[in-house]
Chain A
Amino acid sequence: MATIKELSKREDLLSGGHRLCAGCGASIAVRQVLLGANAPVVAGSATGCLEVSTTAFPFTAWKTPFIHNAFENAAATISGVEAAYQALKRKGKIDKDVKFVAFGGDGGTYDIGLQSLSGAMERGHDMVYVCYDNEAYMNTGIQRSGATPFGAATTTSPAGKVRAGKPQQRKDLTQVIAAHNIPYVAQASVSHWKDLIEKAEKAFAVEGPAFLNVLAPCPRGWRIKSDETIEIAKIAVQTGFWPLYEVEDGEWKLNFKPKELKPIVDFLKPQGRFAHLFKPGNEHLLEEYQEQVNKNWAQLKKRCGVE
């Protein structure tokens, strides 16, 4: 792991001046991940906030080669770039070592892009896929996705008289990708920069595919202030809502082990998207929430061999 002093000397490959919102977790995730590449890198992105806000023609915020294709195919697109690299290197047309990374939001990763991602991971391309998970389709105005957590109000899972936000649990995508038995899979958060950059370094260093699922809060969608992004991401980790762990060559490792988890209400309460859960009569939902977090945490600890 590079020291913070060394990291400060590395060039930022995503420049300032892009059009992402103040406090957006996506750009923080992207910049931290790219710091971990420490080599020439070709980046790609799925359609979404990141892409529209960084590439409005005739401007670009990318200081490294970048490609956007469509919504559901960032993984397939970068797998094609990587295939071209392998071919041209074999034919002696390229002599440099180049890294490849695809970014997608949770909509482009958990939902519409899952097939493309699964295929690219299975084929074993030497690439990193990074999901900046802000837990809903934020670019189109906060619609629920497969990553939206239980109880969150979105514009397509609003809280109403008979519904308390999203009725389903989110899918556990990190474990889905871990089941592909690729060299490296990790879950990280923008709040834990050292952990995230270390994971990015590992992901870029392994030969073959790697996957990072990075919690990247969206102040607009989560109904928090723009200076609360890092704080809420930290609480997500401390409450066990978003555990930090990695799966390296099949070995599961918990990277953050508090003696005791903070109660889940510490994570839910500050966010407007969960406000309805705190109305009288919804106490059972908060209890259900805590039970679910406890269950998931216990299962993960077991997989990681932690007592």
Chain B
Amino acid sequence: MAKAATKLNAPAKKPKVKAITVAMTGNAGCALAMKQINPDVVAAYPITPQTTIVEEFATYVANGAVDTEYVNVESEHSAMSACIGASAAGARVMTTTSSQGLALMWEELSIASAMRLPIVMHNVNRALSGPINIHCDHSDSMGARDMGWVQMFGETAQEAYDNTIIAIRVAEHEKVLLPVMIMHDGFITSHAIDRFDVLEDDVVKKFVGEYEPKQALLNIDDPKTFGPFAMPAYYFEQRRQLREALDGAKDIVLKVSKEYGKLTGRSYGLFEEYRLDDAHIAIVVMGSTAGTAKYVVDQARAKGIKVGLLKLRLFRPFPAAEIAEALSHLKAVAVMDRADSIGALGGPVYMEVKAALYNSKKRPHVQGYVYGLGGRDTGPDQIETVIDDLKKIARGTEAPREQVTFLGVKG
């Protein structure tokens, strides 16, 4: 794959359509995108920090701004259950959740993907209990990483808005037909007011188009059985098909993002490479912390330190080959995870990046960090220590640590 094709946030081109600059929270941006998509069915349940999305959307429903059937379910398990029913019926379906809500949906997540239902869901990242905590980390969505969903992480409100619209086209693409989970960081992105550009309603309407499923329960004259019982003679092949579909979603994410880029001037790839080409060391990170990290990278660059950054956008399917290619020229890489994979080698992104590099002829040392659990603030100072570590590893004065390093933890 051409390297350029994977690059995120390529220099903005002139948009073909009118941009409307707004100042609103990330959640309000997501609710606005949902309004503009005007899904047939939304079945959702409130949970912090996602709640303001369902509240905003409820206001759109109450004012007749959408003609969505809005199902106020009694739990997240029923939210995803109703979404599965509605999507199988042939409707365009969206929902939204966080943390414990996603955990309660767990059983349904793998059924949604196995039934190949293009449901689009925001998961506004929040730490998993316990202790109960409402603030950001990525442990909720990381717990769902093997569920057969496409998973995209956004850094900013702009990306949360754009990813929502792109996700519809990815999910419903005939080569994908899989649910898509879109992440942005709880409170940091969800509740902070940001300045970003949105599209006009009819531009979004045209971009997402009409959903016309080939199979639907409501094709009453062509009765089909959905969700049958599959014994060992059939189950395995079905799971392989699921993997093939999810692997294939990578190209569709790129294709749809490119089309979106031509329209809006905002280009997205599988990840963003920031000052990476001539770098000797680099940080891999996802979500809002990428913004802080870019600032620290700029500061270090001003001091002559050749550091870069790779911000992962698409986590599932994991773009292993592209990441290996993007990082292979480096001497040392730090992977920052906002989730721990307790008992494993390190955080989930760290393990994937390290494994992706293993078969490369040239590969950097890789060191893993876990940061910001339960909303612990991650300031420039923490990222500076990461760069200091990388410098020592790159010089060969220090060996990379085998154990994961916790940033900003007390005691």
Contact = CB atoms under 8 A, between A and B. Distances in A.
Interface of A: 40, 42, 44, 51-52, 55-58, 60, 62-70, 72-73, 76-88, 90-91, 94, 96, 98, 115-116, 118-120, 122-123
Contacts of B286: none
Contacts of A88: 40, 89-91, 218
A84 B69 contact: yes
A84 B218 contact: yes
A76 B73 contact: yes
Given A58-B234, A83-B43, A69 B111 contact: yes
A103 to B, nearest CB: 13
Contact of B41 (A57, A78, A83): A83
B409 interface: no
A79 B77 contact: no
A65 B220 contact: yes
Interface string B77-104: 1100111111111110100000000000
A70 B228 contact: no
Contact of A87 (B78, B91, B108, B231): B91
B72 interface: yes
Contacts of B90: 84, 88
Contacts of B234: 57-58
B229 A119 contact: no
A70 B107 contact: yes
Contacts of B227: 55, 67-69
Most-contacted residue by chain B among A72, A76, A79, A98 (CB, 10 A): A76
Given A66-B225, A73-B78, A79 B85 contact: yes
A69 B108 contact: yes
B72 A66 contact: no
A80 B220 contact: no
Contacts of A66: 217, 223-226
A77 B86 CA distance: 8
A56 B67 contact: no
A98 B218 contact: yes
Contacts of A60: 225, 228
11 contacts: A80-B83, A80-B85, A83-B43, A83-B71, A83-B85, A84-B86, A87-B91, A88-B89, A96-B220, A98-B220, A116-B75
Contacts of A94: 218
Q: Which 4 A-B pairs have the closest CB atoms?
A: A80-B85, A80-B82, A119-B74, A84-B89
B40 A84 contact: yes
B241 interface: no
Contacts of A80: 41, 43, 71, 81-87, 89, 93
Nearest to A55: B228
B229 A76 contact: no
Contacts of A87: 40-41, 67-69, 86, 91
B43 A62 contact: no
B74 A81 contact: no
A51 B107 CA distance: 18
Nearest to A96: B220
Contact of A64 (B69, B223, B228): B223
Nearest to B82: A80
A44 B84 CA distance: 12
B229 A85 contact: no
B219 interface: yes
Nearest to A58: B234
A23 B227 CA distance: 26
A76 B40 contact: no
Given A42-B218, A51-B229, A90-B67, A84 B85 contact: yes
B77 A73 contact: yes
Contacts of A57: 228-231, 234
Contacts of B67: 87, 90-91
Contacts of A68: 225-229
A62 B220 CA distance: 12
A257 to B, nearest CB: 37
Interface in B27-73: 40-41, 43, 67-69, 71-73
Contact of B228 (A56, A84, A85): A56
A77 B84 contact: yes
B223 A116 contact: no
B163 to A, nearest CB: 24
A57 B224 CA distance: 12
A173 to B, nearest CB: 17
B223 A65 contact: yes
Contacts of B85: 44, 67, 69, 76-84
Contacts of B107: 70
Interface in B185-228: 217-220, 223-228
A6 to B, nearest CB: 22
Most-contacted residue by chain B among A67, A68, A91, A120 (CB, 10 A): A67
Contacts of A77: 81-82, 84-85
Interface in B288-312: none
B226 A123 contact: no
Contact of B86 (A70, A81, A122): A81
